[in-house]
């Protein structure tokens, strides 16, 4: 085995690969030896030959391989961020939490072949007797993936050019299906093509957010107890365009993102931006570096109007907590969104902030008060994650558990604590 040490100057791929693995593990995205071995075995730089080798092994860098020539913000294809790749691979590898002895999958389908790098990792996880199929919608992308996989001895991986919405019935049932592209609606073919108890690892978009969800098939349902924040290229194709986005303010700086099933009329919110109310401070303290993305889940599980604001607020309104994505709740002509204020540092100088909800519009105070309650609920157990269940569309309300229902063309997704 190659001996490696931390090195800021080397271009040796083996050294850089070990450094990348260490960085991923340090951030707690890597626990399994099986996943570590796969990351070690596959030379990522050879799947992104146009990128400098050091970039290929940055733990937090996605590498664009097919730019978006029609002006969109995101590329048409890329090699995903290695930290996210490892996190998703662990979800593929792991069985349900109650079954720690579950074997890693041997028959795996990937939607979103991209460079072929992840398919090679999946082939390592599935082992020499396993079977991996990877699909991409773009023929130039699959051609590149095929050639890289062949060059590295992964000819056993099947590469298919197709819309991944139909899955790949010829090799079903799968022990695991992984989407490395972000669907808005979950295609029913994926559930059908999973073996009973099989895993679907998918970066699902809902309520302006994107989370990688580890579902398990249970009859015609998909049920998940675990999910993690992640961003992905949106999936192309039918039923995948249910996310709505519009600029709210005259300056064109503040954007609202929501789902097609939500009762949100952006025009009704425009006057609210000129009617700021008092921020409701929750008393909940956030130390520097602490994550708070699960607040979004608390909102999604409780509020039909949970959504996202991004950009910058105009004068008179508090700043968004994160410019790129701040959780918000819309209710008719009013809204509230997450903010923070710095308070006195903790002993030792650690910076501290208090979380709150900024109010806008006639009913803003009431919406912000509810929002603050959700912050408090999150604070009672910050690690708690909701159960996310996807029922087939048409499932009657009476057959759904309590929680918020997100209606999409093919499923009714229920988020419940």
The count of C-alpha atoms lying within 13 angstroms of the C-alpha of 107, restricted to the half-sphere facing its C-beta, is: 12
- The interface region with ligand SAM, picked from 113-121, 168-176, 302-310, 336-344 by CB under 6 A, is 113-121
Q: How many residues does the chain have?
A: 417
How far apart (Å, rounded) are the C-alpha atoms in residues 299 and 88? 24
State the minimum distance, in angstroms, from the CB of residue 74 to ligand SAM: 9
Residues 212-251 that bind ligand SAM (CB under 6 A): 233, 235-237
Which residue of this chain has its Cβ atom nearest to ligand SAM in the complex?
Answer: 114
Which one of residues 115, 257, 404, 410 is an interface residue with ligand SAM (CB under 6 A)? Answer: 115
How far apart (Å, rounded) are the C-alpha atoms in residues 243 and 240? 8
Q: Which of 77, 80, 227, 334 is catalytic?
A: 80
How far apart (Å, rounded) are the C-alpha atoms in residues 21 and 323? 30
- The interface region with ligand SAM, picked from 114-122, 245-253, 262-270, 402-410 by CB under 6 A, is 114-122
How far apart (Å, rounded) are the C-alpha atoms in residues 414 and 223? 10
Q: Counting contacts by CB under 6 A, is residue 409 touching ligand SAM?
A: no
Residues 127-166 that bind ligand SAM (CB under 6 A): 135-138, 141, 163-165
> Nearer to ligand SAM by C-beta: 165 or 413?
165
Mark residues 307-336: x for contact with ligand SAM by CB under 6 A, - for none.
------------------------------
> Nearer to ligand SAM by C-beta: 163 or 319?
163
Mark residues 71-90: x for contact with ligand SAM by CB under 6 A, - for none.
-----xxxxx----------
Q: Which residue, 77, 100, 152, is CA-closest to 121?
A: 152
Q: Counting contacts by CB under 6 A, is residue 118 touching ligand SAM?
A: yes
Q: Counting contacts by CB under 6 A, is residue 410 touching ligand SAM?
A: no
Total residues contacting ligand SAM by CB under 6 A comes to 25
> Nearer to ligand SAM by C-beta: 235 or 300?
235
How far apart (Å, rounded) are the C-alpha atoms in residues 321 and 309? 10
State the minimum distance, in angstroms, from the CB of residue 206 to ligand SAM: 18
> Nearer to ligand SAM by C-beta: 150 or 290?
150
State the minimum distance, in angstroms, from the CB of residue 320 to ligand SAM: 26
State the minimum distance, in angstroms, from the CB of residue 137 to ligand SAM: 4
Question: Exposure of 4 by Cβ count < 10 A (0-12 exposed, 13-18 middle, 19+ buried)?
Answer: middle
Which one of residues 94, 180, 262, 313 is an interface residue with ligand SAM (CB under 6 A)? Answer: 180
Catalytic residue list contains 77: no
State the minimum distance, in angstroms, from the CB of residue 233 to ligand SAM: 5
> Nearer to ligand SAM by C-beta: 77 or 107?
77
Q: Give residues in contact with ligand SAM (CB under 6 A).
A: 76-80, 111-112, 114-115, 117-118, 135-138, 141, 163-165, 180-181, 233, 235-237
Catalytic residue annotation: 80
């Amino acid at each position: 085995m190659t001996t490696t040490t931390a090195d800021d100057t080397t271009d040796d791929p083996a050294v850089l690969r070990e450094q990348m693995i260490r960085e991923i593990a340090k951030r707690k995205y890597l626990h399994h030896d099986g996943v570590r071995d796969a990351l070690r075995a596959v030379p990522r730089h050879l799947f992104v030959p146009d990128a400098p080798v050091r970039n290929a092994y940055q733990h937090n860098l996605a590498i664009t391989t097919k730019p978006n020539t029609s002006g969109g913000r995101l590329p048409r294809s890329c090699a995903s961020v290695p930290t996210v790749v490892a996190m998703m691979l662990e979800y593929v590898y792991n069985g349900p939490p109650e079954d720690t002895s579950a074997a890693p999958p041997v028959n795996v389908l990937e939607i979103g072949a991209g460079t072929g790098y992840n398919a090679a990792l999946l082939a390592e996880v599935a082992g020499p007797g396993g079977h991996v199929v990877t699909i991409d919608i773009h023929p130039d992308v699959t051609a590149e993936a095929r050639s890289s996989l062949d060059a590295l001895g992964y000819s056993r991986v099947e590469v298919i050019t197709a819309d991944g919405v139909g899955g790949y019935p010829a090799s079903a049932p799968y022990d695991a299906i992984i989407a490395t592209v972000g669907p808005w609606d979950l295609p029913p073919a994926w559930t059908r093509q999973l073996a009973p108890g099989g895993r679907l690892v998918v970066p699902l978009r809902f309520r302006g957010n994107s989370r990688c969800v580890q579902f398990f098939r249970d009859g015609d349902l998909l049920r998940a107890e675990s999910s993690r924040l992640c961003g992905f290229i949106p999936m192309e194709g039918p039923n995948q365009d249910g996310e709505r986005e519009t600029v709210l303010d005259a300056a064109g700086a503040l954007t609202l993102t929501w789902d097609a099933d939500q009762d949100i009329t952006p025009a009704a919110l425009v006057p609210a931006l000129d009617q700021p109310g008092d921020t409701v401070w929750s008393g909940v303290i956030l130390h520097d570096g602490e994550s708070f993305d699960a607040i979004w889940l608390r909102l999604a599980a409780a509020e039909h109007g949970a959504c996202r604001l991004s950009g910058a607020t105009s004068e008179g309104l508090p700043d968004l907590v994160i410019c790129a994505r701040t959780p918000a709740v819309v209710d008719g002509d009013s809204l509230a969104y997450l903010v923070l204020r710095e308070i006195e540092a903790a002993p030792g100088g650690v910076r501290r902030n208090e979380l709150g909800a900024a109010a806008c519009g006639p009913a803003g105070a009431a919406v912000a008060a509810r929002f603050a309650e959700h912050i408090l609920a999150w604070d009672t157990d910050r690690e708690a994650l909701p159960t996310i269940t996807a029922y087939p569309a048409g499932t009657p309300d009476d057959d759904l558990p309590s929680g918020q229902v997100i209606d999409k063309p093919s499923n009714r997704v229920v988020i419940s604590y």
